[in-house]
Amino acid sequence: MSRTSAAVNNTYTRGYIRGNSKGSPGVESRNKDATGKVELRKKVTLLRGISIITGTIIGAGIFISPKGILKHSGSIGMSLVIWSACGVLSLFGALSYAELGTTIRKSGGHYTYMLEAFGPQIAFIGLWADLVAIRPSAIAVIALAFGQHILEPLFMPCAVPEIAVKLATAIGITAVMYLNSMSVSWSARVQICLFFCKLIAIAIIIIPGMIQLFKGETQNFENAFEAKEVQIMGLPLAFYSGMYAYSGWFYLNFVTEEVERPEKILPLAICISMAIVTFCYLLTNIAYYTVMTAEELLASEGVAVTFAEMLMGKFSVVVPVFVSLSCFGSMNGGIFAVSRTFYVASREGQLPEILSMIHIRRHTPLPAVIVLYPLALLTLFLGDLYSLLNFMSFVRWLFIGISVLGLIYLRHKHPEMQRTFKVPLFIPAFFSITCFFMVFLSLYSDPINTGIGFAITLTGIPAYYLFIVFNKRPKWFQRISDSITRFLQILLEVVPPE
């Protein structure tokens, strides 16, 4: 991915874009920005940081995952233990990432930490898996949950047509991409608003459930640990469901360079967010079991909706609306954060140069935001989303485990690095060992899906040598590549950061 020719023309392209943007509608009010320094601004405050983490974690997981955890754990009591264990394990991972984020103050999350600790090849393989499968499928799955729940009140009591769900899903993905392309501030404000909507949605479940509990509705907790046909090899799948519900604690590390005073705000936002999420998740699950038996929960297609129908009657119609808003918030936070990984990877020379450019007026990494748009839509309409997410979930935790292992390695290799926030060594050690244990045990629990995911990840090795190591291109190919880059710069009005 040579950049020599394109870099020579960037000054001309920057001047061309500046000169031609002055006549664009709405630009006059932004002349101050247009003549200022083109860069990603530090606009993530403590509240915005909490809204990014909490707003991304609380998505469809708490409304869907209870079924998967109960199924694979075998009992109500064990499912609550797994919810608690996943919360503690996620906290350990989040604290480890807090140290990594305050030590390596670069955006990019997993990618940046693997790059700093283990070099470009491991980092590229993780990036490859993210780009070709994990992120498009993750966006499509959470967007499908959005599409399903936003349409549910309109079609009750009938089932929502599949094509309607996919169209609503595509509209949701488009809206989130547009929002993140247009303004960092507006994306953050929407995230804060949706964060409070999520808390309202959780409260709608927790408060009636606690009222039922105080009334003495505890029969479902009798013999809570009495299991039926549970297999020890199924526990990794239960943990996957739980960790999926908690996933998102690492997203603030993807935007470290945009966080105000990251040495203070990053650890504080992570700790506050994990306390809020774990508390809400445990109370929500207890609320579910005050109304629903284990059999009823397993038979439910949407746990939160079934809970509301059984307890709230006609008022239950508001629950799908709040669930859809929760899913939209997860999409917004996820795209906001993940786009920075592609931005940083491009800056490091492992993705096309265009992805490291910033909109000249809006100061958003526009190309890095929209690169996932066609991939997500393609996955939505052509892919078997849930199978793809299943066999890629273990890859995600594999690379998170490697990233945290990098913390231990950097402690040994570079003790001189400034660490304003430092965790006891047993926390990253326990977290990384647990991640690897779950990953490799899942090869026995679900060898086909995890094997496919592992094979897809391994394709990153030849891709690394093809695109990164053996990157000499014929001059005619390089001229075409540079012409495409300049065309996209002018079309998108983006330039390299100053």
Query: Helices (H) and strands (E) in the chain — how many of each?
Result: 23, 2
Q: Facing residues of 259 across strands?
A: 44
Residue (of 374, 346, 341, 338) closest to 494 by Cα position: 346
d(CA 238, CA 223): 20
Could you tell me if 380 and 169 are in contact, meaning their C-beta atoms sit under 8 angstroms apart? yes
Q: What is the pTM of this model?
A: 0.85
The type of residue at 341 is T
> What's residue 15's pLDDT?
55
In terms of residues, how long is the chain?
A: 498
> Which residues in the chain land under pLDDT 70?
1-40, 60-61, 64-65, 227-234, 383-392, 445
The type of residue at 40 is L
Count of other CB atoms within 10 angstroms of residue 349: 15
Could you tell me if 355 and 346 are in contact, meaning their C-beta atoms sit under 8 angstroms apart? yes
> What's residue 71's pLDDT?
81
Enter the DSSP assignment of 1: -
> What's residue 13's pLDDT?
55
Per-residue HEC secondary structure of 124-188 comes to HHHHHHHHHHHHHHHHHHHHHHHHHHHHHHHHCCCCCCHHHHHHHHHHHHHHHHHHHHHCHHHHH
> What's residue 57's pLDDT?
86
Token pair belonging to 202: 């959780």
Backbone φ and ψ for 362, nearest 5 degrees, come out as -85, -15
Residue (of 366, 27, 56, 355) closest to 182 by Cα position: 366
d(CA 443, CA 47): 40
> What's residue 388's pLDDT?
62
d(CA 308, CA 313): 7
Does domain 46-495 bear CATH number 1.20.1740.10? yes
Which is it for strands 358-359 and 494-495: parallel, antiparallel or unpaired? antiparallel
Give the CB-side neighbour count of residue 110, counting CA atoms within 13 A: 26
d(CA 175, CA 167): 12
Could you tell me if 194 and 50 are in contact, meaning their C-beta atoms sit under 8 angstroms apart? no
Token pair belonging to 124: 């590229």
Count of other CB atoms within 10 angstroms of residue 178: 12
Domain residue limits, the chain: 46-495
Could you tell me if 401 and 93 are in contact, meaning their C-beta atoms sit under 8 angstroms apart? no
Enter the DSSP assignment of 39: S
> What's residue 185's pLDDT?
84
Q: What is the CA radius of gyration of the chain?
A: 23
Token pair belonging to 435: 């991640």
> What's residue 16's pLDDT?
52
